[in-house]
Copies of this chain bind each other. A is one copy, B any other.
């Protein structure tokens, strides 16, 4: 797994909508600050020009009303449009503009709220840029740029800083480091299995066990197959995922209301909610039958988990959809079994991300793992390691004239790969011993005049108290 790094600044392009989709568990169709300007101006015209004024016009919330006040010509004296003088009026908005009826306005408000979490600004070259909120879109851009010169599959990781302007809670900061691992070029579920294996290996290494942490696993295809079963059009899929992703945050009645406004029938909604409550593959099989890709993928993943030896870490949970727009297949998230913290990590398959950057699609999957929640968990479990300073040698001259000699000794030790804290001032020996204890030095090297004349130094092993003289050349 080679490490990679990407720039911290993203340029906000029209076709790069995915930059604006924020972990965790939030997503939407891609809209952009630049785009917003046109959306806003089009929303303004709705109240006056629509002949059948509905509550929708009351719901539009123009953020700037300059146009509405002064009219298109800028003249103040032009007569107001009178909607009751009925003529045959085209009820469609002008080409390229959009109205925002309440259901769309809610989505837009939700979306704008999410924009707020981006650190975005205009640079001195008038580019709209943002501090990256996550690493995957930067990776996708890089892969497309490198193109066919990259021998697939890629197995890359990165640890990078990400920024989000959000309300700070436990394990949620405005700046954090995120570990990402991605496998690009493997369509099989073996890739997801390998990724989860890496996380489990990491957990084990830091002392976290399967009784502390688990992975909820599902597939976006579960939802897709249910919707297709009821002939719900594919373009509604993304929107439904957004709504579903909020299940743990808002009351179930509000979820239902939103699903209804996405034109889902009561029957579909009921079926959907039933499926989402499924917590075992057996039950899922009863619901979906054995033929769909969702079940085949999930069964393979659970079978591989047995072989990898992490079957006790993972469980099927149909309610997991993850918050990023680009996931297409298996999705998973790590959670603490006590339920005190937000998701520890999350990931999934994103087979169509690359084409949104203008490249060919390449099957891909990956995960993101922040440094904040895991530290909270380690604290919670009493597993935070004590990492005291570790310096092998402290070197000190006994005489101001021997400072240079002490420096020479430090240089020799460093050349031999040893770490050295060189005492840079004239300090009493008592101070030197105190400092040696604080930095957990193993040896004290004393450069005294009599020894130095013989080409020797004094050595004190601080753990045992053993003391001896040694030739500088023989210091190891």
Residues of A within 8 A of B (CB): 2, 7-9, 116, 119, 121-125, 131, 151, 153, 155, 161, 163, 165, 174-175, 183, 186-188, 190-191, 193-194, 197, 201, 303-304, 306-309, 389, 403-405, 407-408, 410-411, 414-415, 421-422, 424-425, 435, 438
User: Contacting A407 at CB < 8 Å: which of B131, B151, B304?
Assistant: B304
Give A166's nearest chain B residue, CB to CB: B124
Q: Nearest B residue to A161 by beta-carbon distance?
A: B8
CA gap between A389 and B154 in the complex, in Å? 12
A197 to B309, Cβ gap below 8 A? no
Residues on B with C-beta less than 8 A from A435 are: 151
- Can you list 8 pairs linking A and B with CB atoms under 8 Å apart? A9-B175, A190-B425, A191-B424, A197-B407, A201-B415, A304-B403, A304-B404, A308-B407
Rounded to whole angstroms, the CA-CA distance of A165 and B122 in the bound complex is: 12
Tell me which of B122, B151, B408 contacts A308 (CB under 8 A).
B408
- Listed from nearest, the 3 A-B pairs whose CB atoms lie closest are A307-B404, A121-B121, A190-B424
Cα(A381)–Cα(B346), bound, Å: 45
Q: Look across to chain B and name the residue whose beta carbon is closest to the beta carbon of A193.
A: B407
Our pick among B7, B153, B304, B407 for the contact of A194 (Cβ within 8 Å) is B407
Nearest B residue to A5, CB-CB: B177
Given contacts A9-B175, A161-B8, whether A308 and B124 have CB atoms under 8 Å apart is: no
Q: Do A411 and B308 contact each other (CB < 8 Å), given the known contacts A303-B404, A424-B183, A435-B151?
A: yes
- Chain B nearest CB, measured from A59 CB (Å): 25
Docked-complex contact B307 and A201, CB < 8 angstroms: no
| A2–B439 alpha-carbon span in the complex (Å) | 10
Interface centre among A8, A407, A421, A435 (most CB of B within 10 A): A407
Q: Which of B116, B155, B174, B186 contacts A421 (CB 8 A)?
A: B155
Q: Does the CB pair A306–B404 fall under 8 Å? A: yes
Nearest CB of B to A214, in Å: 19
Q: State the CA gap A422–B153 with chains docked (Å).
A: 11
* A2 close to B389 (CB less than 8 A): yes
Residue of B nearest to A175 (CB): B7
Chain B residues with CB under 8 A of A194: 407, 422, 424
What residues of B have a CB within 8 angstroms of the CB of A151 in the complex?
435, 438
**Which of these, B8, B124, B188, B403, contacts A8 with CB under 8 Å?**
B8
Instruction: For the complex formed, measure the closest distance between the CB of A230 and the CB atoms of chain B, giving whole angstroms.
Output: 34
How far apart sit A302 and B197, CA to CA, in the bound complex (Å)? 56
Known: A408-B309, A411-B308. A403 touches B190 (CB 8 A): yes
Residues of B within 8 A of A303 (CB): 404
Residues of B within 8 A of A8 (CB): 8, 131, 161, 163, 175
Q: Determine the chain B residues whose CB is within 8 A of the CB of A308 once the complex forms.
A: 404, 407-408, 411
Q: Nearest chain-B residue to A119 (Cβ)?
A: B123
Which residues of B are found within 8 Å of A410, using beta-carbon distances? 197
| A7→B163 CA distance, assembly (Å) | 11
Choose from B116, B304, B403, B405 the contact partner of A124 (Cβ within 8 Å): B116
A309 to B408, CA, bound (A): 7
What residue in chain B is nearest A438 (Cβ atoms)? Answer: B151
| Complex Cα spacing A424 to B191, Å | 6
- Please name the residue on chain B nearest to A153 by beta carbon: B424
* Shortest CB distance A182–B (Å): 13
Cα-based distance from A131 to B132 in the complex (angstroms) = 13
CA distance A174 to B309 in the complex (A): 46
List chain B residues, Cβ under 8 A from A124. Answer: 116, 165
Complex CA distance for A7 and B415, rounded to whole angstroms? 33
Using Cβ atoms and an 8 Å threshold, which residues of chain B touch A188? 424-425
Please name all residues of chain B whose beta carbon is closer than 8 Å to the beta carbon of A190 when the two chains form the complex. 403, 407, 424-425
Contact of A307 among B306, B405, B421 (CB under 8 A): B405
Alpha-carbon gap, A424 to B197, bound state (A): 13
Give 13 A-B pairs besides A190-B403, A190-B407, A306-B404 with Cβ atoms closer than 8 angstroms. Answer: A7-B175, A8-B163, A9-B174, A119-B123, A121-B121, A151-B438, A155-B421, A188-B424, A197-B407, A197-B411, A304-B403, A308-B404, A309-B411
Q: A155 to nearest B CB, angstroms?
A: 7
Distance (Å) between the CB of A274 and the closest chain B CB? 32
Q: Which residues of B contact A186 (CB under 8 A)?
A: 424-425
Q: How far is the CA of A121 from the CA of B118 in the complex (A)?
A: 13
- Taking a contact as CB atoms closer than 8 A, the residue among B161, B174, B408, B438 that contacts A161 in the complex is B161
